[in-house]
Amino acid sequence: MIALSHRGNSKRHGSALIAVFWVVAVLGFAVFTGALLVRSDVDAILSRKELLAAEREADKGIALAANPLVEPWDPILQRRDAETGEGYEARVLSEGARFNLNTLLLREDRVVLKRLFAKWGLDPAEGDALLGALLDWVDADSQERLNGAEAGTYAGRGQPGLPFNRPFQSLDEVVLVAGMEQVEARVPDWRNYFTVWSSGKLDVNEAEADLIAMACGCSVEAAASLVKYRRGADGRENTRDDIPVRSLEELALELSLGGESGLEPGVPLRVSFVEPVERIESTGRAGNAVLRRTVILRRDGGRLVVFRVMDERGNLF
């Protein structure tokens, strides 16, 4: 009996001990969770502070890059505080480095858009349908063209009120065009090819080789040798030694097409050598926060006309 009782006592002691362990464990967990919550509040405050500081840095970069006295290669466009790590990197780019989608559509330049859609992997039938839908979107009438898309088509897709029958005001509207869902799925970065803010033509002194090849109907290799030429001896874009192409004759020579007569007939309407609309991209950093801001502006005499201020996702401010 005693032994049993003893065993019983020891069992009770054992249970009590386990219960104490549980209480300690649960309390410990609670304290740990509480500490985590407090910590995450502190982190939120810190990161909010860092985000604001990063935003201030990004804006400093924008302000300097927009200053007409600051050249694109000026070292002032990059700053990093050695102690705090705070700073910005700003770049001045030409908005003409992208195809102006409105200009191509209003001019009905099917050649360039078909080349682009083929590069994106659309088959000819898909390319024709997308081209027709884009043309119908920007033209003023409501008559559906062959392979096009007007109100009836969009109503059938459960999208009443489309198309807008006017040029695109932003690339976000382009997503609504019938057939763009395939492009979104296959070419997630399609926005990088287009603008609606440039003055209209592709700036051959800033565009990537594949876009120059599509505008000029030449090989990507020929366009790449033009890009290499314009970058100058240091091989880098937007530096003091750049050699801009200034005429159709020079363009044709650098593309190894002999002379101006070697260019495709549509080229003069598609390309330019200077672009008044600039894209300033500035990345601000503070602590763990990184914030990128993009401003699109035109230098109009001494005046700056700002078209759009965006965050890194293209959202407007």
User: Under the rule (CB under 5 A), what is the footprint of Ca ion?
Assistant: 136, 139, 141, 165, 231-232, 234, 236, 239, 241-242
As to burial, measured by CB atoms within 10 angstroms (0-12 exposed, 13-18 middle, 19+ buried), residue 55 is middle
Query: In the complex with Ca ion, which residue's Cβ is closer, 115 or 145?
Result: 145
As to burial, measured by CB atoms within 10 angstroms (0-12 exposed, 13-18 middle, 19+ buried), residue 2 is exposed
Helices 209-216, 110-119: axis angle to 10 degrees equals: 140
Query: In the complex with Ca ion, which residue's Cβ is closer, 72 or 127?
Result: 72
Q: Are strands 271-272 and 202-203 parallel, antiparallel or unpaired?
A: parallel
In the complex, what is the shortest distance from the CB of residue 229 to Ca ion, in angstroms, rounded to a whole number?
A: 10
Cα 65 to Cα 74: distance, rounded to the nearest angstrom: 9
Query: In the complex with Ca ion, which residue's Cβ is closer, 167 or 276?
Result: 167
Query: In the complex with Ca ion, which residue's Cβ is closer, 109 or 242?
Result: 242
Query: In the complex with Ca ion, which residue's Cβ is closer, 231 or 308?
Result: 231
258 and 72 Cβ atoms separated by less than 8 Å: no
In the complex, what is the shortest distance from the CB of residue 37 to Ca ion, in angstroms, rounded to a whole number?
A: 53
In the complex, what is the shortest distance from the CB of residue 125 to Ca ion, in angstroms, rounded to a whole number?
A: 21
252 and 263 Cβ atoms separated by less than 8 Å: yes
Query: In the complex with Ca ion, which residue's Cβ is closer, 191 or 231?
Result: 231
Query: In the complex with Ca ion, which residue's Cβ is closer, 136 or 206?
Result: 136
Cα 251 to Cα 219: distance, rounded to the nearest angstrom: 14
In the complex, what is the shortest distance from the CB of residue 81 to Ca ion, in angstroms, rounded to a whole number?
A: 28
Cα 298 to Cα 317: distance, rounded to the nearest angstrom: 18
Query: In the complex with Ca ion, which residue's Cβ is closer, 162 or 263?
Result: 162
In the complex, what is the shortest distance from the CB of residue 124 to Ca ion, in angstroms, rounded to a whole number?
A: 23
* Longest CA pairwise span in the chain (Å): 116
Helices (H) and strands (E) in the chain, counts: 11, 9
In the complex, what is the shortest distance from the CB of residue 138 to Ca ion, in angstroms, rounded to a whole number?
A: 7
314: left (phi over 0), alpha (psi -120 to 50) or beta: left
In the complex, what is the shortest distance from the CB of residue 230 to Ca ion, in angstroms, rounded to a whole number?
A: 8
128 and 154 Cβ atoms separated by less than 8 Å: no
Cα 235 to Cα 207: distance, rounded to the nearest angstrom: 15
Does residue 102 sit in helix, strand or coil? helix
Query: In the complex with Ca ion, which residue's Cβ is closer, 78 or 199?
Result: 78
In the complex, what is the shortest distance from the CB of residue 236 to Ca ion, in angstroms, rounded to a whole number?
A: 5
In the complex, what is the shortest distance from the CB of residue 184 to Ca ion, in angstroms, rounded to a whole number?
A: 22
The residue behind tokens 């763990």 is 288
